[in-house]
Amino acid sequence: MTPLNFPLPNVVPLIPEMFVAVMGMGVLMLDLFLPKERKVIGGYLAILTCIIAGLLTVQIGMAETVSAFYGFFVQDPFSSYAKLLIYAGTALAVILSLDYIKNEFGVGEYYSLMLFAMLGMMIMASAPNFVTLYLGLELMALCTYVLVGFQRDVLRSSEAALKYFILGSLASGILLYGISFLYGVSGSFDFATIGAAIEHSGSGAHFALLLGLVFVLAGLAFKISLAPFHMWTPDAYEGAPTPITAFMSVAPKVAGLVILIRVLADALPALNVEYVTIFSWLAVISMAVGNLAAIAQRNIKRMLAYSTIGHIGFIMLGVIAGTADGYAGVLVYMTIYLFMSMGAFAVIVLMNREGIQGELLDDFAGLSKVRPGYALAMGLYLFSLAGIPFLGGFWAKYVVFMAAIEAGHLYLAIIALLFSVVGAFYYIRVVKYIYFDETRVAFEFVENRLMQATVAVTAVAVVAIGLYPQPVINICKAALGGII
């Protein structure tokens, strides 16, 4: 038998991934040696991991495109920027967990699973290939299933995890089935090779390709909770521990959108007409479901779940536009959404009351009289989510709407505008509770410096980006290298 001879793959682009994987295992091991009252160190380590991974990603160089591991991994500006968003989302979610999770069983496993989920998202962001995409997706999904059901003794947490797990597995199966059709036509898992093969395929292959496209899109739409594949979102958001809800509302969405853009731009450009039609409908349904159903919610976590569905509908306008401006708009939207959503969840986690976190809308009544600072921050996030001018959320919507109009989807932009007006109603209703109603429930507020800093930083970011959005837009445009 001949000895195995092969060039050692270039591991430099994977240094952040390897670091996060090692730290994930390190947190798991360290937890064994920590006494109960010092388990929180695992959380600080997780935050440190996110920061160092961010520095590594920047250090390795964001400007150039490097392919590694026989084309199973790619590092380009697009993936690097997405990874920075993922680190930020994870770090903030860990900060929110520090106090929330301290009395639970298995604190070390919790932080370790968050790091592994982050690793899965990083792999997704760098996937040039369906094999890597699927493995990253499963790594992320498996961690989030466990994290959603982490509070084993809370019935709705277990129920949410089970629902999420069953529907998630179904979506993964559908995605795989779609991939198998694309593989059957092209004979490859590589996005670029599939793209080239589709260009040259005859009309006989069209139907098989269409079926593959539909299944792949349905599988990915589930992950970013685009209606009508959103059914799991409200239940999972409500049942999950609140920091995990915050985590799920940002980081997996960034990873899902990035990989969706990569699949569409690299593998399926030849099916542009078909997917634009599909996504136009899905975006409209998503905006309608998200913004109309949110009005009826009394639980703020459920309301924010529908709000996510609505926002994903808006974000899809950027994907539908399919231009540089559109894709940059998606990144801008996710960047600003990260701050708004994380900030809002931080306030919810801070309003702690023996097992129940400020979850009902009524709980927010009169917040301005008890804690004017939190009230102001929450007001800013909500106005920003509603898209009131000169806050971050306004520019997020502006960029994607303009991209859609320039790409010739005027009618979609008008529908989106109408729904964002509808959406403004339920956001501003919460502001009314906070400022104009009498206090109904007394709360103990969590006193945690890092969490208070999170609220302050995100609120300042929402205002600062609102007043001066150009740097963010420029950075996102520069981050499109490797895609267009």
Residues that bind other proteins (CB under 8 A): 1, 4, 6, 9, 14, 21, 25, 28, 69-70, 72-73, 105-106, 109-110, 112-113, 116, 119, 123, 131-132, 135-136, 138-139, 142-143, 145-146, 149-150, 152-153, 161, 181, 184-185, 187, 201, 204-208, 210-211
Closer residue to other proteins (CB): 131 or 410: 131
In the complex, minimum distance from the CB of residue 86 to other proteins, in angstroms, rounded to a whole number: 16
In the complex, minimum distance from the CB of residue 142 to other proteins, in angstroms, rounded to a whole number: 5
In the complex, minimum distance from the CB of residue 182 to other proteins, in angstroms, rounded to a whole number: 11
**CB-based contact 210:200 (threshold 8 Å):** no
In the complex, minimum distance from the CB of residue 466 to other proteins, in angstroms, rounded to a whole number: 39
Closer residue to other proteins (CB): 169 or 474: 169
In the complex, minimum distance from the CB of residue 131 to other proteins, in angstroms, rounded to a whole number: 5
Closer residue to other proteins (CB): 133 or 338: 133
In the complex, minimum distance from the CB of residue 110 to other proteins, in angstroms, rounded to a whole number: 8
Closer residue to other proteins (CB): 20 or 476: 20
In the complex, minimum distance from the CB of residue 282 to other proteins, in angstroms, rounded to a whole number: 17
Closer residue to other proteins (CB): 227 or 367: 227
Closer residue to other proteins (CB): 213 or 430: 213
Which residue reads 């920061």 in tokens?
51
Closer residue to other proteins (CB): 142 or 388: 142
